[in-house]
Homo-oligomer: A and B are copies of this chain.
Amino acid sequence: MNSIKILENKTITDVPFFKASGVHCGLKKLKQDLCVIYSEKEAVAAATFTKNKVKAAPVLLNMKTIENHNIQAIVANSGNANACTGDAGYKDAILMAELTAKELNLSSSEVLVASTGVIGQPLPFDKVENGIKMACETLSSEGGEDAGKAIMTTDTFLKKFTIEFQVGGKKSMMSAIAKGSGMIHPNMGTMLSFIVTDTNISKSMLNKALKESVEDSYNMVSVDGDTSTNDMVIVLANGSSENKLIDCENQDYEDFKTALHFLNVELSKMIAKDGEGATKLLEVIVNNAKTLEDAKICSKAVITSSLVKSAFFGADANWGRIICALGYSGADLNVNAINIFFSNEMGNIQICKDGGNIGFDETLAKKILEEEKITITINLNDGVFSATAWGCDLTYDYVKINGSYRS
């Protein structure tokens, strides 16, 4: 059994041989808006990218760069997505990699680039250039928090998570920073999440572990049904831990994958909880589906429904909307076998039995629904497959934030 320990006060720069920084270069009004993450040792990388046909320039560039064996740095900015910016935008992304590489004495093919913010505006490159210089100069073992802040847009809290785990009897660390908030409905790729680890693992095994984990973590989050042009998850592994190189699907690989997935699920929940305007974290668990695909489709249909999300905002136990979403999801299901439950620390209540009304205790339901985290468990009673999706309620503030995002 792989025991995973959560390290509350640690961040990405506590992982051996990783440094980072976050600076303010003027892309946002006041706060940090550019960061660099750097591995002092050679590192292998894996990444997943948005499946949106409209891909931001950094995504297009990284899809090539990621083929290289050694990747030692990530440079990322917020405040401008560098998406729909044409050839000029693509050249800007290349320039970001080149400038960072020059400062760090790397080749530009060893640097990944990310951007997040408004779509369709040219990057004010003088600011970016200045930011990259400042960020490279201030790289430190204490810079993890600043780096995390520099990728935030409408996020209300910093998303970071650090764990310690064992691989082949040796201690490994893994830590990540992520941003979420709006335009969150990842499809294969995802929002920004940068993960670093000292585990000794081959590039191909790292890639395999990431791809598998992303499907059941970030890709099961939805804030608003909109898949961004800029989503990406990157993991850098610099192999400075003393574990024997993981280069096949052995027990060490399983332990590493378990740790990586644990971390990714925690970050996914943070992203869902901090969805734009959100007051509640919703977790939708679908059990006993006919196929894994049906389980996933069902959980995502419920977490994506505006009507379901509004009802949770109002603490209204309107289960009819949940069953309606299951019905139009496209999944294969037996409507008359569906049971639905709400639960959290206030209690556990069944609100629908055999696809129909059960006459539940409205007072207890209200108590459960007024909490900040609610688990909706749906039993389809039609097979053996399960899936979990995470999201949030739909609130006045979502509309407020998105009615004037550019201004």
The 8 A CB mask of A349-365 against B (1 = contact, 0 = none) is 00010111100000000
User: CA A187 – CA B401 in complex, angstroms?
Assistant: 30
A252 to chain B, nearest CB (A): 37
- A383 interface residue (CB < 8 Å to B): no
Among A121, A225, A229, A402, which residue has the most Cβ atoms of chain B within 10 A?
Answer: A402
Among A55, A307, A311, A324, which residue has the most Cβ atoms of chain B within 10 A?
Answer: A324
Contact check: which of B53, B119, B394 meets A333 at CB < 8 Å? B53
- With contact pairs A120-B357, A320-B120, A324-B226 given, residues A396 and B406 touching in the complex (Cβ less than 8 Å): no
Copies in the complex: 2
A317 to chain B, nearest CB (A): 8
- With contact pairs A183-B324, A225-B225, A356-B84 given, residues A311 and B402 touching in the complex (Cβ less than 8 Å): yes
Of all chain B residues, the one with the shortest Cβ separation from A324 is B229
Contact check: which of B310, B328, B396 meets A52 at CB < 8 Å? B328
What B residues does A394 contact at CB under 8 A? 306, 399, 402
- A319 interface residue (CB < 8 Å to B): yes
- A168 interface residue (CB < 8 Å to B): no
A127 to chain B, nearest CB (A): 18
- With contact pairs A314-B403, A357-B85 given, residues A120 and B319 touching in the complex (Cβ less than 8 Å): yes
Inter-subunit contact A316/B122 (CB<8 Å)? no
What B residues does A25 contact at CB under 8 A? none
- Cross-chain pairs A/B with CB under 8 angstroms, 24 sampled: A53-B328, A53-B335, A54-B326, A54-B355, A84-B357, A85-B357, A86-B356, A119-B320, A119-B324, A120-B352, A182-B307, A183-B324, A225-B305, A227-B328, A229-B327, A306-B306, A311-B405, A314-B403, A314-B404, A316-B404, A316-B407, A317-B406, A318-B406, A395-B399
